[in-house]
Amino acid sequence: MVLLTWALVLLTVVLVALTVVLVVLTLVMLTVGRLSEEEARARLERLPGAIIGLAARRLPEAARADRKSEWDAELQGILAGNKDYPVTRLFEATRFALGLLCRAGAIGLTDAPKARPWLSLASSLGVPRFRDPQAEELVTALRAGRVEARMVAEHAMAMVEAEAASVGGRRLDRLAPLRAAAVDGLSAAQVTELVLSMWDACLYAQGRRLLWAWLQPERICKRQPGDVAVIKRLLSEHCPDKWTQTAPFVRDAIDNWSLDHKQAVERMLRHGQEPPPSAAS
Amino acid sequence: MTAAMAVVLRLFLNEPGKPRYGYDVMCATGIGSGKLYLILARLSKMEWLIRDREPSQPAHEGTSERCLYRINPSCAAAIRQRLAEPARQVQQRPVPATRGWLVPGTGQA
């Protein structure tokens, strides 16, 4: 009987101890859970702000602080609204920030101060711009198939080197005549070949600028979605990495194209739809 | 002028005196933030829109102020005229026999 009593007492003590341990564990788990939840919440709420910080880093320094304060203020507005729906609020804020991150490069181009403002001032005062008859001859020869794009790129290289070497020469855009001739005279295939040759000669910025100028809206009547298809095909064939980098740039460059043409290009960029062979000729 | 740009301008022209901030325009037009701010930056640069800072409120000191955009009154008539142009062009433009990929520069399939 005594043994049974002791056994019951022992069992009770063990049960009480277990209950205490369980209660303590539950309290610890609840506290840790709540703390984790708070931490996760705080971190997630900072995510859109961090994305906006990244987007602002893609802007030119002169416009960065102004744009960032504008976007931060908008973000605060979004986070302050929808107080009863934290998930919706976070989704909206993240979507807002991601949209800005994707387009910050193009916004930066719009915000960027003009690279050489004195050039337009000089032309308005009647100062003649840099003339390069050889560039026009070379472009004409390239169009006729008499010279290779590599030779034109070598000429561009020489112009850039001359520009860097001359005292005060940076005030003149020595590639402007070549760019103007190429924009007026070359087809999509020829201009892509020239851009690739310029990239081979390490003239990356100049090549991109030529491509940008070629796709510009003032010459929209001369450009077709098929041209972008040709550019895509040639760049993908020669260096697929370059096309991956160039696709968003092309998308921004054609922003002022007509809606039909833009949609055709978007379809092509999204689904890889290729034009019929006649368009690529 | 792109279709999205026209949508934004029409919104501002509906209530010419009313300043709007970016998120407000985004909600009203349904255009994504990236594209919208690109359009607002371009229109501000063209001086079709005027960009001002929101006047600071004592209750919200220490927080950033939003930017308010409003239509430039001196450009409103020109913008209206410009918005009317594409509609006329679309009506007059013949429908092409084949849509899709065209030969570069010729406008023919």
What pLDDT is recorded for position B96? 44
- Among all chains, which residue has been given the structure tokens 């920030």? A97
Structural domains of chain B, with CATH: 3-92 (1.10.10.10)
Choose the mutation target among B23, B24, B56 for the interface with A, i.e. most A CBs under 10 Å: B23
Q: Is residue A217 part of a domain?
A: yes
**CB–CB contacts below 8 A, A to B:** 97
Do residue A170 and residue A249 come from a single domain? yes
Predicted confidence pLDDT, tens digits, chain A (281 residues): 888 899 999 999 999 999 999 999 999 999 999 999 888 888 888 899 999 999 998 888 888 888 898 999 999 888 887 777 888 888 999 999 999 998 888 888 777 665 556 656 666 666 656 677 788 888 888 888 888 888 888 888 888 777 766 655 455 677 888 888 888 788 888 888 888 888 887 888 888 888 888 887 555 566 778 888 888 888 888 777 777 777 777 777 776 676 777 777 777 777 665 544 333 33
Q: B78: exposed, middle or buried (C-beta count within 10 Å: 0-12, 13-18, 19+)?
A: exposed
Among partner residues B23, B104, B109, which is closest to A74 by beta-carbon distance?
B23
Q: With respect to residue A139, please indicate whether it lies within any of the assigned structural domains.
A: yes
Domain count for chain A, please give it. Answer: 2
Judge: A224–B63 Cβ closer than 8 Å, yes or no.
Answer: no
Q: Does A19 fall in a domain?
A: yes
Facing B2 at nearest CB: one of A78, A95, A256: A256
Instruction: Look up the pTM and report it.
Output: 0.50
Q: Which structural domain range is residue A144 located in?
A: 132-280
Q: Report the largest interatomic distance among the alpha carbons of chain B, rounded to a whole angstrom.
A: 64
Same domain, A189 and A75: no
Do A179 and A270 share a structural domain?
yes
**Chain B residues in contact with A103 (beta carbon < 8 A):** 33-35, 37-38
Do residue A69 and residue A147 come from a single domain?
Answer: no
Distance from CA of B65 to the nearest CA of A (A): 6
Are A220 and A258 in contact, with CB atoms under 8 Å apart? yes
**CA-based nearest residue to A209, from A174, A179, A245, A238:** A179
Closest Cβ–Cβ partner in A97, A107, A224 for B38: A107
ipTM of the complex: 0.75
For residue A281, list chain B residues with Cβ-Cβ distance below 8 A: 103
Q: Does B102 touch chain A (CB under 8 A)?
A: yes
